[in-house]
């Protein structure tokens, strides 16, 4: 009988030790104290049983219980002191700093979305350098030096004599890809472009484009129309009319500009579309045979289409933003909405 009670005391001590190890605050410590040292604790219950034992056993159990009580009290005091020290050093009840979780920039989001749509059509994604040579930015794109079309793009030169510049469009990536891979190929290339433009509501000296290129045997203008129509439908998630108008780019023949019915006024005419009902959103065309010759593709065997779209313009239309500068002024009130 007494042996069982002594065993109980030992078990109690073990349990108390294990539990107090895990305690990190005064509230939990108080619960521990009530459980092991409080009025209704097992220890107290055992104390109250003492008179039931024979005199000699009373002494043994009494001593055992007193030692246990002393150990528990010491454990309690020591732990209390330790926790109080920590709590004094760090005010644990102080509300934490609210960490603002950032979100992706709207331009990054729109690029991701564009990439996803073309990915579904099997287009791979490649990137090219922002610092380019005039060979890739112009010459290889059928725009040799002194070609009047170089004036279309107001260029930032880093070292004019060496022909080092900030790319004015993502088209040089077409050349880099075709130099490296043989047809068939199907890629898009998003990235930053730079032009010596004023910073106003519709121009920014830094902006983004997504370039597209598909080369294979028998690629026709209808493939270009099909791919871009699919893209527009997926991107704006509504029915829009598409218009291809003849245009000029040195690296495509024929060249076209693609317009869509104004997504702001649904083609009725508003200030965004200049009351025409249509918005021009990208340049495109069939890759010029000269471009193929430059990269070593046989233009009699392969044909292809290419396009380049302005990301800011697409983003502005999608979200109804009327000033491109919002994307670059880092105004939290604007950025937090995306
Ligand atoms: N690079 C042209 C620009 O920035 C856009 C463009 C037009 C890209 C026709 C193309 C293309 O790939 O085929 O104005």
Give the residue with greater pLDDT, 288 vs 48: 288
Any domain includes 101? no
The mean per-residue pLDDT over the stretch 36-53 comes to: 89
Q: Could you tell me if residue 98 is inside a domain?
A: no
Whether 211 is in the pocket of ligand 1, judged by its Cβ within 6 Å, is yes
Same domain, residue pair 62 and 119: no
Residue 306's pLDDT band, with cuts at 50, 70 and 90, is very high
Q: 64 to each of 12, 45, 72, 278, how far by Cα in Å?
A: 12, 14, 12, 94
Q: With CA atoms as reference, report the closest residue to 182 among 292, 297, 290, 286.
A: 297
Would residue 234 count as lying in a domain? yes
Q: Within a domain: residue 311?
A: yes
Q: Does 195 sit in the ligand 1 pocket, CB within 6 Å?
A: no
Looking at the fold, whether 115 and 78 belong to one and the same domain comes out as: no
289 with 205, same domain: the answer is yes
Q: Are residues 76 and 159 in the same domain?
A: no
Domain hosting 79: range is: 2-90
pLDDT at 49 (0 to 100): 87
| C-alpha R_g of the chain | 38
- Residue 259 is part of a domain; what is its CATH number? 3.30.930.10
Q: Is the pTM of this model over 0.85?
A: no
Smallest CA-to-CA distance from 61 within 120, 6, 7 is with 6
Indicate if 151 and 15 belong to the same structural domain.
no
Asked if 295 and 221 sit in the same domain, the reply is yes
For atom 7 of ligand 1, the residue with the nearest CA is 283
Q: Output the 3-class SS for 233-277.
A: HHHHCCCCCEEEEEEEECCEEEEEEEEEECCCCCCCCCCCCCCCC
The pLDDT tens digits of the residues spanning 46-85 come to 899 888 888 888 889 899 999 999 999 999 999 999 998 8
- The residue among 48, 50, 64, 54 whose CA lies nearest residue 13 is 64
What is the position in ligand 1's atom list of the atom closest to the CA of 170?
1
Is position 270 within any domain? yes
Q: Which two tokens stand for residue 28?
A: 């939990």
In the chain, what is the greatest distance between 2 CA atoms, to the nearest angstrom? 118
Across 110-119, 274-283, 287-296, least confident range = 274-283
Burial of 237 (0-12, 13-18, 19+ CB in 10 A): exposed
Does 128 share its domain with 31? no
Cβ neighbour number for residue 95 with a 10 Å cutoff: 6
Contact of 158 with 165, CB cutoff 8 Å: yes
- Residue 120 in any domain: the answer is yes
Ligand 1 atom closest to Cα of 283? 7
CA dihedral 304, 173, 190, 199 (to 10 degrees): -120
The ligand 1 atom nearest the CA atom of 212 = 12
* Total number of domains constituting the chain: 2
């Amino acid at each position: 009988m007494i042996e069982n009670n002594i065993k109980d005391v030992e078990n109690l001590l073990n349990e108390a030790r294990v539990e107090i190890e895990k305690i990190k605050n005064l509230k939990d410590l108080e619960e521990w104290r009530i459980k092991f040292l409080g009025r209704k604790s097992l220890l107290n219950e055992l104390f109250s049983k003492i008179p039931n034992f024979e005199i000699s056993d009373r002494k043994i159990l009494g001593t055992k219980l007193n030692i246990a009580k002393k150990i528990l009290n010491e454990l309690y005091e020591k732990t209390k002191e330790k926790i109080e020290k920590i709590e004094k050093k760090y005010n644990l009840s102080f509300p934490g700093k609210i960490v603002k979780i950032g979100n992706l920039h709207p331009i990054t989001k729109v690029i991701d979305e564009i990439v996803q749509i073309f990915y579904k059509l099997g287009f791979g994604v490649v990137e090219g350098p922002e610092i380019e040579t005039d060979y890739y930015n112009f010459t290889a794109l059928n725009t040799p030096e002194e070609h009047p079309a170089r004036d279309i793009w107001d260029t930032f030169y880093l070292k004019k004599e060496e022909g080092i510049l900030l790319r004015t469009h993502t088209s040089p990536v077409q050349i880099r890809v075709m130099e490296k891979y043989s047809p068939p190929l199907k890629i898009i290339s998003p990235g930053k472009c730079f032009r010596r433009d004023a910073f106003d509501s519709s121009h920014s000296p830094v902006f983004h484009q997504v370039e597209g290129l598909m080369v294979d045997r028998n690629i026709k203008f209808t493939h270009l129309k099909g791919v871009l129509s699919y893209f527009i439908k997926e991107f704006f998630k509504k029915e829009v009319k598409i218009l291809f108008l003849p245009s000029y780019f040195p690296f495509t023949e024929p060249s076209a500009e693609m317009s869509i019915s104004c997504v702001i006024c649904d083609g009725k005419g508003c200030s965004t579309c200049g009351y025409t009902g249509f918005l021009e959103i990208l340049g495109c065309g069939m890759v010029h045979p000269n471009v193929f010759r430059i990269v070593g593709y046989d233009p009699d065997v392969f044909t292809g289409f290419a396009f380049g779209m302005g990301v800011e313009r697409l983003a502005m239309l999608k979200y109804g933003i009327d000033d491109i500068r919002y994307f670059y002024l880092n105004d939290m009130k604007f950025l937090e909405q995306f």
